[in-house]
Chain A
């Protein structure tokens, strides 16, 4: 014989006002962990979504990012004519030589951040096909013009379409805004490669090149040819791999997330257990009666567990709503959240709560409910009907 679910539901409802504090505890624990998790996954998404599986990053051997790499003109020319590289309509190979510089730029709130400025040639837009100019136009070479990633607009002094932005040695005119589908290119500023190298007094024209595989090309062979050329000491990496490595540096943030989630979860679980113990205590006679009527221990156990789970689920729903609200408020107040990646440059991350974050919060809340309810339910189930009824 089993108790209907409505028994548990009614029990929660009967004490809903009294249970509300427990619900609040679980909801707060959910908000705290989910907001943190959302921040991490937003950061991850921004970095990881930057790479394309069809692109290769070529850097100097030993460099882990394009900010600390360099490449000669000869190396670029040699790479251009290798087999297996895609070509555009005019037969030009999709090879984009790039110069990366990280100047210090002042934000509108007066903080200094290192911004990734990527010096490019027009081919860059063919290789990075997720990047599009959405306002204004592309810069003209050698005329002191730049285009801004969406994330930088309004964040830095002068970072507006049509205004002048000072960084490095020069003053640059903003002529366009680019959208990069939420990837970290949106945290960058793009300028003319040659002009940027001059401005930064770089001894080499480029930091690295990005190229696109031709469809059906022997990818491994192409990468091996780039790496094996003894003249240049280069390293070739899939772009997706390159950004996955950059994202790895946020591992310590996950460590912090665990440090946060475990104690908060345990504390909330103890709070839930407390409430359930009180419920069991208050209903000792009722439980005894149920047992005397023939309901089994397993039935009682299940009913109380269900009740605890129900409480934690209400907590989850409220917590999820709270998380979405808080993320919206933080987004509105703080704008893009600046994150210095291991490469020293700032990634502007838009805080967004994903379905995955909420799923994780759901599991978190459910675990709190089940683990917190287990002992009280066990105690309820192991009450001897005789003892329980004697209390009446």
Chain B
């Protein structure tokens, strides 16, 4: 500890170099932490949106395959089921702007509260959603994105059904993770009937189970119930259901991790370069220190400490700055990142764990970078160095 002032003095001796090295390490470490936020994005999103008592029952072939509507009531009869809500993909799009930008579903308005109490939708909105045939409840993010207000009318063309419908927004889902647009199943059914078509299918049956311990048995019963029927089903927890949408992101996540490792290696080389430059330039002084009685251990220790202090301060600062950086990126990207193919990866949410990893990595980098040059400097015979210089 008593040599700490020496370490700091050495660091401040070539301020420009310390600044350049520190800047480089800090920047690269910021990047490492920023990229580390991406793989965790999927898990976090899943645990945020998922409830452990909600189960999705859907066609074994995937959500684009439907099931007979009668399945909803049959699932309801399974012991342990508290509520069911059959959902149909409406695929709403603006007529002018041909982009499907939010998931829109037709479902049963009477079973919304029972199915999604955790969404905390206002009772007044739910009441209107039940009463008004053309009512829609919309996720807050989607409302914000299009600048919609409650009471506003929105016209959407369905990309699945041959209808264009006008809805009145009666309330919002007050959380960021449900960008949905919910409409009454009955409204869609009537519009179809006007064309002599029946709406007799359902895409996903959401099931709410009384007791988390009952979930496996409910899922097993649902699968068993429709075995050997024309529409065999898969039942899975909400988390596993949403996870399946992100399956193809895994390869991308792996590449992000490879790139992150490369950047971390970059940090190591920058730190090692500075450490070896410092040792090289100071070889005479180190020899003098040794000559007047400082031990090899002290020389080695102070040099390694110098490298570690620099890396830790710079890398730690970089890691902490990730908070601001990712906030800035989120702001710059605006809504454009949320609804793209990378979706859950681009929340860029920095956690204390990620920052701690960044700081830990910085300490290790400082240590590893400092060891070789410091070892070399401490080991060289004093006489040899002094002979070289004088």
Binding site for B on A (CB under 8 A): 18, 21-22, 24-25, 28-29, 31-32, 35-36, 39, 60-64, 68-70, 101-105, 107, 111-114, 167-169, 199-201, 203, 235, 249-253, 255-256, 259-260, 263-264, 266-268, 270-271, 273-275, 277-278, 282, 326, 330, 334, 337-342, 346
Which 4 pairs show the lowest CB-CB distances between chains A and B? A104-B62, A68-B159, A21-B273, A270-B24
Sample (28) of A-B pairs whose CB atoms are under 8 Å apart? A21-B270, A21-B272, A28-B262, A32-B259, A62-B93, A62-B157, A64-B99, A68-B91, A68-B93, A68-B159, A104-B244, A169-B231, A249-B340, A249-B341, A252-B333, A252-B336, A252-B337, A252-B341, A260-B259, A264-B31, A267-B24, A267-B266, A267-B267, A271-B20, A274-B24, A274-B270, A277-B16, A338-B247
Instruction: Scan residues 110-162 of chain B and give those whose CB is less than 8 A from a CB of chain A.
Output: 157, 159-160, 162
Q: Give Cα distance in the complex from A384 to B197, angstroms.
A: 90
Q: Are B254 and A334 neighbours in the complex by a CB distance under 8 Å?
A: yes
- Within the complex, the shortest CB–CB distance from B346 to chain A, in Å, comes to 7
Chain B interface secondary structure, helix, strand, loop or mixed?
A: helix
Closest Cβ–Cβ distance, residue B379 to chain A (whole Å): 18
Q: A271: which B residues are within 8 A, CB to CB?
A: 20-21, 24, 269-270, 273
Is A274 a contact of B21 with CB atoms below 8 Å?
yes
Q: A-contacting residues of B (Cβ < 8 Å)? A: 16-17, 20-21, 23-25, 27-28, 30-31, 34-35, 59-66, 91, 93-95, 98-100, 157, 159-160, 162, 197, 201, 230-232, 244, 247-252, 254-255, 258-259, 262-263, 265-267, 269-270, 272-274, 276-277, 280-281, 329, 333, 336-337, 340-342, 346
Within 8 Å CB of B273, what residues of A?
Answer: 21-22, 25, 271, 274-275
Give A250 to B30 CA distance when docked, in angstroms. Answer: 24
Q: Which residues of A contact B62 (CB under 8 A)?
A: 102-105, 114, 167-168
Asked whether B231 lies within 8 Å of A235 as measured between CB atoms, the reply is: no
Contact A255 B333 (CB under 8 A): yes
Cβ-defined contact, A201 with B201, below 8 A = yes
A64, A278, A338: the one contacting B277 at CB < 8 Å is: A278
Task: Give, as a whole number of angstroms, the nearest-CB distance from B188 to chain A.
Answer: 13
Residues in A with CB closer than 8 Å to B274 are: 274
B31 proximity list for chain A (CB < 8 A)? 259-260, 263-264, 267
Q: Is the Cβ of B244 less than 8 Å from the Cβ of A18?
A: no
Contacts of B201 in A (CB 8 A): 201
Contacts of A338 in B (CB 8 A): 247-248, 250-251
- Say how far B372's CB is from chain A's closest CB, in angstroms: 11
- If the complex has contacts A250-B341, A270-B20, A274-B277, are A36 and B255 also in contact, measured as CB distance less than 8 A? yes
Give the number of residue pairs across the A-B interface with Cβ within 8 Å.
Answer: 204
State A326–B337 Cα separation when bound (angstroms): 28
Given known contacts A64-B93, A104-B244, A259 and B342 CB-to-CB distance under 8 angstroms:
no
Query: Do A112 and B337 touch (CB < 8 A)?
Result: no
What is the chain A residue whose CB lies nearest that of B17?
Answer: A274
The minimal Cβ–Cβ distance linking B69 to chain A, given in whole angstroms, is 12
Q: Look across to chain A and name the residue whose beta carbon is closest to the beta carbon of B164.
A: A62
- B28's partner among A112, A200, A264 (CB-CB below 8 A) is A264
| Inter-chain contact B269/A25, CB cutoff 8 Å | yes
Q: Which of A111, A251, A277 has the most CB of B within 10 A?
A: A111
Tell me the smallest distance from the CB of A68 to a CB of chain B, in Å: 4
- What B residues does A69 contact at CB under 8 A? 159
Q: Which of B98, B251, B269 contacts A28 (CB 8 A)?
A: B269
Q: Please tell me if the beta carbons of A104 and B61 are within 8 angstroms of each other in the complex.
A: yes
CA distance A88 to B193 in the complex (A): 42
Q: Which chain A positions have C-beta within 8 A of B251?
A: 334, 337-339
Known: A111-B248, A169-B231. A268 touches B254 (CB 8 A): no
A31-B262 in contact (CB<8A): yes
Is B248 within 8 A of A346, CB to CB? yes
Contact present for A267 and B346 (CB under 8 Å): no
Chain A residue, CB-CB nearest to B254: A334
CB atoms of B248 and A35 under 8 A apart:
no
**Known: A167-B61, A342-B340. Is A35-B259 also a contact (CB below 8 A)?**
yes
B20 touches A273 (CB 8 A): yes
Knowing that A61-B157, A251-B340, A255-B337 touch, tell me 8 more A-B residue pairs with CB under 8 angstroms.
A28-B263, A63-B98, A69-B159, A111-B248, A266-B24, A267-B267, A277-B17, A339-B252
Q: Specify which chain A residues have a CB less than 8 angstroms from the CB of B94 in the assembled complex.
A: 62
B65 engages A201 (CB within 8 Å): yes
Task: Specify which of B61, B63, B93, B255 is in contact with A330 (CB 8 Å cutoff).
Answer: B255
